[in-house]
Structure 1
Amino acid sequence: MALRIIRSSINVFFDGYQSFTSIAALLVLPASTSILLSQAMVPLSEPVIKTISLRLSAMFLAARFPASAEFFELLNLKLAQTVFSFVATLPLVLTLLLVAKACVVVVVCGGRRCQQGSLPLSAALRLYRSILPTHLFNSFVVLSANATVFIFLFLVFNAADVLGLASNSALLLLLSAAGAVLYSVVIANSTVICNLAIVVAAVDGCGGLLPVLKACFLVRRHASTALALALPANLGMAAVEALFQYRVIRQYNVSGELSSSLLWEAISIVYFYALLIVLEVVMNCKLYEACTLANKHEHEQDQGELKPEEKAALFV
């Protein structure tokens, strides 16, 4: 099912290539630039990130997490960088990027095409009123997922401390590895649900909690498919982020100047990153359609298996 959705998404992307390239160039490009530059500004913003990291370290120590565990040291650094990047990119993400996602949903689910570089902005702005509160609630969902994992790890490590097992380095390493796997699985599932909730909000015209609940209902039997779809998109964007760091930021730090060739290379990488974001939204739209059809088919099968008197009682 995942391969079928990927092929369908690629066909839709190339079928509406002019529409999606216009959306990527005019709306997603500024947001993708801010995302990539915010990650490049991490070394320049070391005092801010160090302050955030110290606050997180104090929280981990207060929760009696093992200070020597490499997992929590790495998690501390990544969380600090994520918080900094989230705040730095928030204005453009809440405006241009959400409008771009609404445009993509209009093109894919509404069957509309951009002609002569125009964008379906009027329809997208109507959807934006539903997407914005859903995106804000998604941030709360991701924060709650992080808090839930931390609370569970807090209970586990404190139980190990009470039982006198905290001095066993092998056990701490095993618990840290299990915590890393648990954290990755929870964040991956919450991210998939949040991305699908954006599409649900745009298609159904609802916002906030309801799209998230419907997204959970849609993927309840298709979690593996949703995760399989999210993997190539996330790997592709991570590869482009690494390419931007290596080809643009590293070259700029070595030469100390922004030449015309380096500028055009940076624009090309950022534009490719914007196309990947558009393609990810297309894949979420096709996932929404596939899950909706699958659930409808399962419901019809369940209805067909009921006896006539059970159907009558159900309708009553």
Structure 2
Amino acid sequence: MLLCESAMEDTSRTQATTIMRRSIYTFLQNYHYFTATSAALAFPYALSVLVSQFFVPLSPLLPPIHSHLRAVFMAAEFPPSSNFFTVLSFKISQTVSSSIFALPFTLSFFLLSKASIIHLFKHNSPSSFSSISSLYKPLFSTFICNFLLLLAANSTAFSILFFGYHFVNGFGFSLSPNWLTFMSATGAVVYSMIVANAIIVCNLALVSSGMENSGGYLAILKSCVLIKGRTLTALALAVPGNLALAAIEALFHYRIVVRAYGYRSGGDFSGFSLALEGVLIAYLYSIFVVLDTVVSSMFFKSCKTGCLVDREGRYCYKIEIVAEKDGNAYVMLKNIEEFP
């Protein structure tokens, strides 16, 4: 059993490395298109996400969201002394406030940037704005369904943490600091796993909606089937991109936000150089947003053309998405062969 799991991890790591190398090669092959068209479309979204670091701490939305979330945690009788729930409530409040601030740019420039990349993978040629806008409707409907899926994933994670805490609390372990630390660490792992898998499905669903011209919940169902047996590969592909985006956000915070507050306090900083550096960091952020979409598109193509072997290593399945004349689509798993 351990050898099988080790073999699966090695296979997932190899697949992730291959997909990443192909994605970088494709990005460099179409460097001018991705950096000029796709990155330019993603730039307002990237700038809004980074600039939200200025306004979120001063936003009137943050205190009520944080207070309501803390009230929910207190009503659920989560331990108030746990640093995990304190940090979690604050980070979720920040994320919600930042998402609300960047929502207009997300629904416009972000989706159009993704549409430009998906169109290139779909037709193997650069696209005009009219052809890009034709993919906007399925991407938009899928984005709305993704929002509901992420909301459900967070609710599920909180429910699991709620029942887990009260189950342990029933045995009287909650008074021990060691048990509180153990529960916080376990809760962080469980919450991260649930939300990470939901984000992976949402990213693949956006690519699927553009490739298949079918948005909404159907794209999410397709992505759930496509990702079957490839969860480790998807996680290995998602982690580097998210770490890079988080690093750029931290770079913007320390290079721009902190210096800007110092400038307002009378520090010796040039406003023009500060703004120019902020624009360059935002453009770098948009480049990585484009590269993340390229990786997701390459992963989607790999899932469509690849086969899946079950955990016991006996059967091989091929994924087929069949589109009927009535506009409905059906996801099928075809048994190719049985291994001895």
> What is the CA-CA distance between 1:25 and the residue it aligns to?
4.4
Aligned residues: 300
Q: 2:205 corresponds to which residue?
A: 197
1:34 corresponds to 2:48 = yes
Deviates more, 1:88-97 or 1:296-305: 296-305
Whole-angstrom CA distance in 2 between matches of 1:12 and 1:64: 51
Structure 1 gaps, min length 5: 114-118, 307-316
1:271 corresponds to 2:286 = no
Q: 1:132 corresponds to which residue?
A: 140
Q: Which amino acid aligns with 1:18?
A: H
Amino-acid identity (%): 36
Q: 2:230 corresponds to which residue?
A: 222
Whole-angstrom CA distance in 1 between matches of 2:75 and 2:65: 15
Aligned residue for 1:166, secondary structure, equals coil
Q: 2:295 corresponds to which residue?
A: 283
Q: Match for 1:158 among 150, 166, 176? A: 166
> What is the CA-CA distance between 1:43 and the residue it aligns to?
2.3
Q: 2:131 corresponds to which residue?
A: 123
1:6 corresponds to 2:6 = no
Greater strand proportion: 2
Whole-angstrom CA distance in 2 between matches of 1:210 and 1:249: 41
Whole-angstrom CA distance in 2 between matches of 1:142 and 1:25: 26
Q: Which amino acid aligns with 1:31?
A: Y
1:299 corresponds to 2:323 = no
Distance 1:303 1:267, change over 3 A: same
Q: Which amino acid aligns with 2:20?
A: I
> What is the CA-CA distance between 1:163 and the residue it aligns to?
2.5
Aligned residue for 2:81, secondary structure, equals coil
Aligned residue for 2:220, secondary structure, equals helix
Highest RCO, 1 vs 2 (Cα 8 Å, sep ≥ 6): 1
Structure 1 stretches of 4+ with a deviation exceeding 4 A read none
Aligned residue for 1:303, secondary structure, equals strand
Aligned residue for 2:245, secondary structure, equals helix
Q: 2:5 corresponds to which residue?
A: none
Q: 1:107 corresponds to which residue?
A: 120
Structure 2 gaps, min length 5: 1-14, 310-315, 319-333
Q: Which amino acid aligns with 1:219?
A: I
Deviates more, 1:251-260 or 1:187-196: 251-260
Greater helix proportion: 1
1:163-242 correspondence runs (5 A)? 163-242=171-250
Aligned-residue RMSD, C-alpha = 1.7
Aligned residue for 1:43, secondary structure, equals coil
TM-score for the superposition, normalised by structure 1: 0.91
Distance 1:82 1:167, change over 3 A: same
TM-score for the superposition, normalised by structure 2: 0.84
